[in-house]
């Protein structure tokens, strides 16, 4: 094998070509690739962060919704109990008032019957006296 100046020139030109390509093409391309990778990594990180925040917000919303439902059920139960108690109280008051009114009406009727009986007794006495006077006369 023979080494002459052409071989040396070819080696030098290949090395220069490689250095120039590195400087002009590969380094900028590598920088672009690195920047894109950083951008992608940042976007993935932001997406994961946003996903975590969204999950936290969703969990908080679900907890608030569950609490609201519990509070609503509790309020409904309280109001139902209160309405039942009021209905029971109103019913007992109405029954008591009805009994009082009934007793008062019975007493009024008894008093009126007694007074009418007395009137009839007096009328009967007067008629009997009138009959006795007419028969004796």
| pLDDT per residue as tens digits for the range 42-98 | 999 999 999 999 999 999 999 999 999 999 999 999 999 999 999 999 999 999 999
**Residue 85 to residue 92: CA distance in whole angstroms:** 10
**26-47 confidence digits (pLDDT tens):** 888 999 999 999 999 999 999 9
Dihedral sign, CA of 92, 98, 99, 104? positive
Please report the pLDDT score of residue 133 as a whole number. 85
34-54 in b/e form (b: 16+ CB < 10 A) is eeeeeeeeeeeeeeeeeeeee
Decide if 86 is inside a domain. Answer: yes
Decide if 113 is inside a domain. Answer: no
| Number of domains present in the structure of the chain | 1
Q: Which domain does 45 fall in, by range?
A: 9-107
Region 92-119 average pLDDT: 93
pLDDT above 60 for 23: yes
**Residue 26 to residue 37: CA distance in whole angstroms:** 16
Decide if 120 is inside a domain. Answer: no
Decide if 76 is inside a domain. Answer: yes
Decide if 20 is inside a domain. Answer: yes
């Amino acid at each position: 094998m023979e080494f002459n100046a052409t071989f040396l020139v070819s080696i030098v030109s290949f090395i220069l070509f490689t250095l120039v390509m590195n400087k002009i093409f590969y380094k900028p391309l590598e920088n672009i690739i690195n920047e894109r990778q950083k951008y992608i990594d940042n976007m993935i990180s932001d997406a994961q962060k946003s996903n975590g925040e969204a999950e936290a917000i969703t969990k908080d919303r679900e907890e608030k919704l569950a609490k609201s439902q519990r509070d609503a059920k509790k309020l409904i139960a309280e109001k139902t109990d209160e309405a039942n108690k009021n209905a029971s109280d109103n019913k007992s008051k109405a029954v008591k008032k009805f009994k009082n009114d009934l007793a008062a009406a019975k007493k009024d009727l008894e008093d009126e019957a007694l007074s009418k009986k007395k009137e009839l007794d007096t009328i009967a006495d007067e008629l009997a006296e009138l009959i006795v006077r007419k028969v004796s006369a």
